[in-house]
Structure 1
Amino acid sequence: MKIVKFNPLDTEEIVSLFYETVHSVNSKDYSQSELDAWAPRNEKESKVKSWKESLNENITYVVKLNNKIVGFSDLTHSGHLDRLYVHKEYQGKGIATALVDILESQAKKLNLLEIDTEASITAKPFFEQRGYKIICTQIVERKGVNLTNYKMIKKVTFLD
C-alpha cells in the first residue's frame, strides 16, 4: 500500500472509485433513488472537471495498491474533511484510517483547532471511533431527494 499526494492525472480513476463505492458500499444504508441522487452517473464527466480543481486545491491523498487507486481523501485548508472513499473490495483494511491519520497530521501542521466532516450513515461509526462527535443530523437535498448525513467535529490535539 502506497500513500501519495493527489495527481490531477488520477482524477478520472478517483471519480470512478467514488461512483462504485457509493453505489455498492453505501447501498446498505441508502435506497437506490438516494444513491442515484448522491452519485448520478450522467454527471461523471462534469464531476471529473470540477473534482480535478477541488482535489488539487485541497490537501488530497490517494492510496495505491499495485498501481490501482483503492482510496482517497481530501481536507480543505480550513479543516473540512470533504471526501473519504475506499474501494468496495478494500473496505476494512486500514485504508480509511491511514488516509485520515495523514489528514489529521496535516491539520496539526496548519494549526487548525478542529476538523469537521459530513459523514454518511455508512461512515458515521468510523468517524465516531476516531473521536469525531456528532453536532447534528442533517437532511441534504440532492436532485429533489433527501439524504441523511451527520455534521461531525473532532478537536485537533497537539499532544501526540
Structure 2
Amino acid sequence: MRFLIRKYRSDDAAATLAAFRRSVVGLASHDYDPEQIRTWAGQAGDLRQWDERRSSADTWVAVPEGNANALAGFIDVDGNGYIDMLFVDPDYARCGAASALLARVARRAAEQGAGELSVHTSITARPFFERRGFRVVQVRHPMIEGMSFVNYLMIRP
C-alpha cells in the first residue's frame, strides 16, 4: 500500500487521537496489561490539548493513496532527531505506513542537522525500530499516573 505523507493540520486532530488510542488498545495490549492500556490510552488529554501538542511539534501524517478521508498514522520529530510519537491505526498496521512516516522524519532530521534519531519506544514497537537500525541503549521504567511501564531508549545514527 502507498501513502501520502504530509504535514499535520488541526483538522487531523480527531483522526490522529483516534489512531493513537486504537493503536494502544489494539496493538500494545499484547504487551501491556489492561490497567496499563487504560492509563496509556487515557493520558492523551482532550482534543484541544491533543491538537495543541501535535501543532507545536513537527508532526506528519500518513494518508492512504486514493483515500484522502482516511488517516493511517502519524509521527513527529524535533530538531535533535527525537521522535516523540509514532502511531499507526491497527487497520493499517504492517502496510508500510510506519516505515513511510519514519523515512520522512529521518530526512527532516537530517535536513535540520541532527546526527541521530532517538525514540522512547514501547515493547510493541521495539522490533519495528530494531529492523530499521535502531539499537537499545537503555531500558526505562517511566511512570504514568503512578503506574510503571517498560520502554526503551533507542538510537540510530
Same fold (TM over 0.5): yes
Q: Which residue of 1 aligns with 2:18?
A: 16
Question: Post-superposition shift, 1:146?
Answer: 0.7
CA contact (8 A) 2:72 2:89 kept: yes
Is 1:54 aligned to 2:53, yes or no?
A: yes
Contact 2:116 2:156 in 1 (8 A): yes
TM-score (normalised: structure 1) = 0.90
2:78 counterpart (59, 76, 79): 76
Seen in structure 2, the aligned counterparts of structure 1 residues 111 and 59 have a Cα distance that, compared at 3 Å, is same
CA shift for structure 1 position 58: 2.0
CA drift of 1:144 comes to 1.6
Percent of pairs identical after alignment? 30
CA distance in 2, matches of 1:152, 1:21: 20
Secondary structure in 1 matching 2:113: coil
Q: State the shift of 1:142 in Å.
A: 0.9
Q: Which has the higher strand share?
A: 1
Name the CA shift for 1:108/1:135 in 2 (closer, same or farther; >3 Å). Answer: same
Assess if the C-alpha contact under 8 Å between 2:5 and 2:104 holds in 1: no
Give the unaligned 5+ runs of structure 2: none
Can you give the 5+ residue segments of structure 1 that lack an aligned partner in the other structure? 156-160
Residue 137 of structure 2 aligns with which residue? Answer: 135
Q: Is the 8 A contact 2:139 2:151 kept in 1?
A: yes
Answering whether residue 105 of structure 2 is matched by residue 103 of structure 1, we say yes
Aligned length: 152
Contact 1:15 1:47 in 2 (8 A): no
Q: Deviations over 1:89-133 (max 9, x none)?
A: 111111100000000000110011111100100000110111111
20-29 vs 50-59, which moves further: 50-59
* Matches of 1:98 and 1:75, distance apart in 2: 14
RMSD (CA atoms): 1.3
Specify the code of the residue in structure 2 equivalent to 1:57: S
Q: Does 1:32 align with 2:37?
A: no
